[in-house]
Amino acid sequence: MIELANAAFSYGGTEILTDVNLGLTPGSFHFLTGPSGSGKTTLLRLCFMELLPSAGQVNIFGRDVRSMTRDEVAEARRRIGVVHQDCKFLDHLSIADNIALPLDVSGRDTEAERANLDELLAWVGLSHRALALPAQLSGGERQRAALARAVIMSPDVIIADEPTGNIDWEMAQRLLRLLIELNRMGKTVLIATHDLNLIRSAKAHVSARVLRLHQRRLQAAGAEL
């Protein structure tokens, strides 16, 4: 579904990633670890086509990203749901309207999707907060809303960048359960995190591959996880 072959990325003459090889197969679950500044977010941005590699190859759903037209990139992105670290909500819109934004952008009839939206709000436990503005939500509520927005288009791949970084352990566990449930539904999941306890908790419930960025390269994490 997403494949990086000897991919590298440089910014301002500085190489951030080197010879990265990664394959996200259908229904797989991956954790991406590494210290702050190791390039985790950069790698995720390569996976959802926000960045192009400076060397090597990135294939998304069987296509080299360099050969894709702008419309083809937009179409492929609809198959990838992204939970950003900072949530990226529009502060003047309600949470329900923020979650529904991908439907609006894609030209789908939001009213026709109202039942699905209501079901999704219930699934993440936010039915009672549907009309609240983003600033009125707690950190955990914002992250669950961000996950709901990421899956509103029923994507094949879910990519989450430090989704539990600013929430307490109980809420982190709740969010993790939602991601595991998505994986059991057949979705491919890639989570960037520095929280090793979260990874240990997940591995009790799902077969997860743990990868680590170290000195610009991607490697399998050690058995201590």
pTM: 0.91
Q: pLDDT, tens digit, for every residue of 21-70?
A: 999 999 999 999 998 889 999 999 999 999 999 999 999 999 999 999 99
Share of the chain above pLDDT 90, in %: 71
- For residue 171, the model assigns a pLDDT of 86
pLDDT at 108 over 80: no
Is residue 211 scored above 90 in pLDDT? yes
% of the chain with per-residue pLDDT over 70:
96
- Answer yes or no: is pLDDT of 223 > 50: no
Read off the pLDDT of residues 142-179 as tens digits, 9 standing for 90 and up.
Answer: 999 999 999 998 999 999 999 988 788 888 899 999 99
- 10's tokens: 């440089």
pLDDT at 110: 64
Q: Which residue has the higher pLDDT, 148 or 105?
A: 148
Domains and CATH numbers, the chain: 1-79+155-225 (3.40.50.300), 89-154 (no CATH)
Burial pattern 2-22, b for ≥16 Cβ within 10 A else e, equals: bbbeebbbeeeeeebbbebeb
Average pLDDT of the chain, as a whole number: 91
Rounded to an integer, what distance in angstroms lies between the CA atom of residue 51 and that of residue 90?
A: 23
Report pLDDT for 98. Answer: 94
